[in-house]
Amino acid sequence: MTGSIRSHLLVADWPAYELLDSGNRMRLERLGQMRLVRYEPKAWWKPDLPPSEWDRADAVYDAEGHWRLSPTAQREWSVDYGALTLQARITASKHVGIFPEQAPHWAWISEQARAAGKRPLKLLNLFGYTGVASLVAAEAGFAVTHVDASKPAVAWGRENAQRCGHPDLPIRWILDDARKFVAREIRRGNRYDAILMDPPSFGRGPRSEIWKVEERLPPLLAECAQLLSEDALFMLVTLYAIAASPFAIDNLLQDALGGRGGTVEVGELALRHAQSNKHLALSIFGRWSKGPVQ
């Protein structure tokens, strides 16, 4: 197995999204028809655009954790991604149900399905949140098992499937703790051709199970390796833990999948400013695949 570093993957050719500016620990973006300003501790630099552009935002999430909405702002709105129509929503946190920096992964998942030809494919999405990756994978041809410990997140995923007009896409929506579900799947003898996960740095399961990524991720990856089929396509991990680095994911995937050959690609997910050469790096990723890096 070989490893490679790619400094960043960038969103490309998505008309529904733009990172308009970032700086002073904030980010200004357009998602669908909504202009958002959200607290972003990774943006240490100065903004490029004048304050008047930032003042045009429909909704602002400040450093104190509060939303301020303009009189015309919508709390829910639609965002198109290819043939999919996704639901964005103002929530109690700064998140709105869609992570635009993940778009390169969505395109890569579709590419992997196309390259595999017409054989049946099964994908496991752990910590699946609102289901965007699950919908992309199902549309590409995977039979998807979507697992999340949050009941509202799973319900949101189902709503996204309905909104897209694809309620019959092959997705199993499962409310469960990821580690416990994986353990049961191992005992059942089930196998998957692809596994993706976006684990939180810290969280609790539906029965108050404590999750700390630095403690729980290594054994989970080892267990997930047991779930991969003999001719599996890939395993994809995204981390938003600030203290981690791409090399950490590289090492973990090498430990879990070292005997399988293939390639590990690691790096950062970043957003590019629409009107400057600046970039906002938001997370790290690692993806093992049987074939060469694309």
The amino acid present at 15, given as its one-letter code, is P
The amino acid present at 28, given as its one-letter code, is L
The pairing of beta strand 194-197 with beta strand 202-204: unpaired
Residue 7: predicted pLDDT: 61
Longest dimension (CA), the chain: 59
Residue 246: predicted pLDDT: 86
CA distances for 250 relative to 48, 77, 112, 203, angstroms: 34, 37, 20, 23
DSSP 10: E
pLDDT in tens, 14-39: 999 999 999 999 999 999 999 999 99
Question: In the chain, what are the domain boundaries?
Answer: 2-8+96-289, 17-89
Q: Which residues of the chain have pLDDT under 50?
A: 293
What are the two backbone dihedrals, phi and then psi, of residue 227, each rounded to the nearest 5 degrees?
A: -85, -10
- What's this model's pTM, rounded to 2 decimal places? 0.92
Are both 2-8+96-289 and 17-89 of the same fold?
Answer: no
Select from 3.30.360.10, 3.30.830.10, 3.40.50.150, 3.30.70.20 the CATH code of 2-8+96-289.
Answer: 3.40.50.150
pLDDT in tens, 156-196: 999 999 887 777 899 999 999 999 999 999 999 999 999 99
Residue with tokens 């999405």: 125
Residue 2: predicted pLDDT: 62
First CA to last CA across the chain, in angstroms?
A: 15
Residue 5: predicted pLDDT: 64
The backbone region for 188, taken as left when phi is positive above 0, alpha when psi lies in -120 to 50, beta otherwise, is alpha
Residue 141: predicted pLDDT: 95
Residue 144's closest CA among 166, 165, 117?
Answer: 166
* Angle of helix 178-188 versus helix 213-227 axis, rounded to 10: 20
Residue 211: predicted pLDDT: 67
- Cα–chain center distance at 191: 22
CATH homologous superfamily of 17-89: Golgi alpha-mannosidase II (2.60.40.1180)
SS3 assignment, position 238? strand
Residue 64: predicted pLDDT: 96
- Cα–chain center distance at 210: 21
Q: H helices of the chain, where?
A: 51-54, 103-115, 132-140, 151-163, 178-188, 213-227, 246-257
Residue 290: predicted pLDDT: 84
